[in-house]
């Protein structure tokens, strides 16, 4: 038996049934390219595992049919979102619906091990509060925000910082721990929610900024990297800049050059504004800034063009390296037709005419940011059918 392809068929089958909200064998066989014999074998196995349930219904011609549906309460997932001052912990079912939630203040003063101990306690609390049996928890998805990394000066943040937590989780639950940065975890969830996009580059620009690559529904490590570290590898868009980045410790990276804080500071430096405008800029937010550009303020337009230029550089560099068919744009700025016209102008100027036909401006589908964390175990264990012992009961 080819274990790998068997898994891929199961993955496709589970995702298809989830997208349709239930499906029958004929429809599944037609859509996921699997032989009837293999399908019978797989569905028997999944029904036996209690992962799929059979629902009987009568179709429009009065014929009795069997509908296969996912048993969304078969397993549970835990999501942890670490923000600057608070950590949010949720427990979800396989549909990624929140069953329990809690939030605690990050009392982390340089001792990251202490923070992990506290986090483990809260994970245990949420499991105790819920009715979810321990052996049916798939794992814990941890999403680290940039604000936490920067503000708590978590130097050179690496995934292996979480080894203590991983060990403790493995001792107490059967599950695994998955650690991701916010933008990457979001990209993975977007790919799941919108399965038409299989190979894409996601760019987020707003209060949070960054990019991630998904190929064949899988996260790809940043193209230009030699070691696996997260959140610390930023793409340099302005090699001659002397603006230093707190996260990657380099100058002229994308994340710094397009940050609103930096842009607003540059605007104030550049001209002799009245005290009124100066105080306006002390509390400026991105939406207000975009509005000012759209109403024709010259300096704001110039800054907006710069952001468009850096985003275009980022896109072009990744397009050259990887087979991307789509660019997903997330954030209010991409809803501005002025900004989009700047972006297309730079893409054309850099001789990438075909790219701007592949731009897709995303709507906000993700209702709560914590869901990107709880989706990690659902993706890596449930949809990849990566069970070890938790299927034995
Ligand atoms: Zn940086």
Give the Å distance between the CA of 57 and the centre of ligand 1.
Answer: 56
Range of the domain at 257: 195-361
Question: Does any domain span residue 108?
Answer: yes
165 pLDDT tier (thresholds 50, 70, 90): confident
- Compute, in angstroms, the gap from residue 152 CA to the centroid of ligand 1: 16
In a domain, 173, yes or no: yes
Cα 62 to averaged position of ligand 1 atoms, centre (Å):
62
How many angstroms separate the alpha carbon of residue 327 from the centre of ligand 1? 22
**Domain shared by 83 and 49, yes or no:** no
E strand or H helix at 146, and its extent?
helix 146-151
202 and 320 housed in the same domain: yes
183 and 57 in a common domain: no
Residue 86 in tokens? 């608070």
Q: Distance, CA 263 to ligand 1 centroid (Å)?
A: 15
What is the sign of the dihedral through the CA atoms of 353, 354, 357 and 359? negative
CA of 157 to the centre of ligand 1 (A): 13
> What are 324-375's pLDDT values in tens digits?
778 999 988 999 999 999 999 998 888 766 777 788 898 878 889 999 999 9
Q: CA dist 101 to 74, 117, 173, 368, Å? A: 19, 18, 18, 12
CA of 251 to the centre of ligand 1 (A): 7
Please compute the mean of the pLDDT values over residues 33-56 and round it to a whole number. Answer: 91
Which helix (H) or strand (E) element contains residue 187? helix 182-193
User: What is the Å distance from ligand 1's center to 248 Cα?
Assistant: 4
**Does residue 146 sit in the same domain as residue 85?**
yes
Quote the ligand 1 centre to 246 CA distance (angstroms).
7
In tens, the pLDDT along 175-231 reads 789 988 888 899 899 889 988 888 888 888 887 788 888 887 788 865 444 333 444
Report d(CA 82, CA 224) in Å as an integer: 26
Look at 9-23, 179-193, 226-240 and tell me which has the smallest mean pLDDT: 226-240
311 CA → ligand 1 middle, Å: 14
Ligand 1 centroid to Cα of residue 310, in Å, is 13
Buried/exposed code over 135-164 (b: 16+ C-beta within 10 A; e: otherwise): ebbbbbbbbbbbebbeebebeebbbebbee
Percent of the chain having pLDDT more than 70? 90
What separation in Å is there between the alpha carbon of 243 and the centre of ligand 1?
10
Query: What is the structure's pLDDT at 345?
Result: 92
| Residue 230: both structure tokens together | 């997260």
Cα of 231 vs centre of ligand 1, distance in Å, is 9
- Ranges of H-type helices in 322-370: 337-349
Count of domains observed in the chain: 3
In terms of domains, do 264 and 310 share one? yes
Q: Mind listing the pLDDT tens digit for each residue in 134-155? A: 889 999 999 988 778 776 656 5
44 in the same domain as 26: yes
Ligand 1: distance of its center to the CA of 236 in Å? 8
* Percent of the chain predicted with pLDDT > 90: 37
Instruction: Mark whether 57 and 134 lie in a shared domain.
Output: no
- Report residue 314 as tokens: 């980022």
CA distance linking residue 137 with residue 127, whole number of Å: 9
Q: How far apart are the CA of 26 and the centre of ligand 1, in A?
A: 51
Q: What is the pLDDT of residues 298-316, one digit of tens each?
A: 889 999 999 999 999 888 8
pLDDT higher than 80, residue 31: yes
Domain-embedded: residue 88: yes
Q: Rounded to whole angstroms, how far apart are CA atoms 268 and 276?
A: 12
Kindly state whether residues 132 and 46 are assigned to the same domain.
no
CATH of the domain at 97: 3.30.420.40
* Choice between 269 and 178, residue whose per-residue pLDDT is larger: 178
To the nearest whole number, what is the mean pLDDT of the chain?
A: 84
Q: Determine which of 75-79, 85-89, 162-166 has the lowest per-residue pLDDT on average.
A: 162-166
CATH for 57: 1.10.10.10
- Taking the centre of ligand 1 as the mean of its atom positions, its distance from the CA of residue 341, in whole angstroms, is 26
Domain shared by 11 and 136, yes or no: no
Tell me, in angstroms, the distance from the centre of ligand 1 to residue 182's CA: 15
Domain closes at, from 51, 70, 89: 70
Q: Are residues 217 and 349 in the same domain?
A: yes
C-alpha distances out from residue 122 to 29, 79, 85, 212, 241, Å: 44, 12, 15, 30, 43
Centre of ligand 1 from the C-alpha of residue 253, in Å: 5
2 closest CA partner among 42, 51, 46, 40: 42
Q: How far is the CA of 67 from the centre of ligand 1 (A)?
A: 50
DSSP H stretches of helix in 230-336: 254-257, 260-270, 275-282, 286-294, 298-321
Q: How far is the CA of 47 from the centre of ligand 1 (A)?
A: 48
Cα 329 to averaged position of ligand 1 atoms, centre (Å): 20
What's the gap in Å between 201 CA and the centre of ligand 1? 19
Selected residue with higher pLDDT from 163 and 73: 73
The edge-to-edge listing of strands for the beta sheet with 176-181 is: 98-105, 86-93, 76-82, 137-144, 176-181
347 and 200 inside one domain: yes
In a domain, 265, yes or no: yes
CA atoms within 13 A on the CB side of 359: 26
Give the pLDDT band (50/70/90) at residue 275: confident
């Amino acid at each position: 038996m080819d274990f790998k392809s068997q898994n891929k068929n199961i993955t496709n089958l589970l995702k298809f049934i989830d997208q349709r909200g239930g499906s029958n064998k004929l429809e599944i066989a037609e859509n996921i390219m699997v032989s009837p014999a293999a399908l019978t074998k797989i569905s028997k196995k999944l029904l036996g595992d209690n992962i799929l349930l059979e629902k009987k219904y009568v179709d429009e011609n009065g014929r009795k049919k069997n509908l296969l549906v996912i048993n969304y309460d078969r397993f549970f997932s835990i999501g942890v979102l670490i923000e600057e001052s608070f950590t949010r912990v949720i427990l979800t079912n396989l549909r990624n619906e929140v069953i329990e939630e809690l939030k605690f203040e990050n009392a982390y003063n340089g001792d990251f091990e202490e923070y992990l101990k506290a986090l483990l306690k809260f994970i245990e609390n949420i499991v105790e509060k819920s009715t979810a049996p321990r052996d049916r928890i798939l794992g814990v998805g941890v999403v680290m925000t940039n604000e936490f990394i920067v503000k708590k000066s978590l130097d050179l943040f690496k995934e292996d910082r979480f080894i203590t937590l991983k060990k403790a989780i493995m001792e107490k639950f059967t599950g695994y721990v998955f650690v991701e940065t916010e933008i990457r975890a979001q990209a993975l969830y977007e790919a799941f929610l919108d399965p038409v996009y299989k190979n894409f580059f996601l760019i987020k620009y707003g209060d949070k900024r960054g990019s991630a690559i998904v190929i064949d529904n899988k996260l790809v490590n940043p193209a230009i990297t030699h070691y696996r570290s997260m959140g610390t590898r930023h793409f340099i868009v302005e090699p001659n800049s002397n603006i230093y980045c707190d996260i990657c410790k380099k100058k002229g990276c994308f994340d710094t050059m397009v940050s609103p804080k930096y842009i607003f500071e540059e605007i104030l430096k550049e001209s002799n504004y009245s005290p009124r405008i100066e105080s306006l800029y002390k509390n400026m937010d991105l939406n207000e800034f975009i509005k000012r550009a759209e109403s024709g303020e010259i300096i704001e337009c110039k800054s907006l063009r710069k952001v468009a230029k850096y985003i275009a550089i980022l896109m072009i560099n990744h397009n050259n390296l990887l087979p991307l068919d789509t660019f997903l744009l997330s954030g209010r700025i991409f809803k501005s037709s002025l900004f989009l016209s700047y972006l297309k102008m730079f893409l054309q100027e850099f001789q990438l005419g075909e790219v701007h036909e592949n731009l897709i401006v995303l709507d906000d589908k993700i209702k709560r940011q914590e869901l990107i964390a709880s989706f990690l175990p659902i993706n890596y264990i449930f949809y990849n059918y990566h069970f070890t012992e938790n299927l034995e009961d």
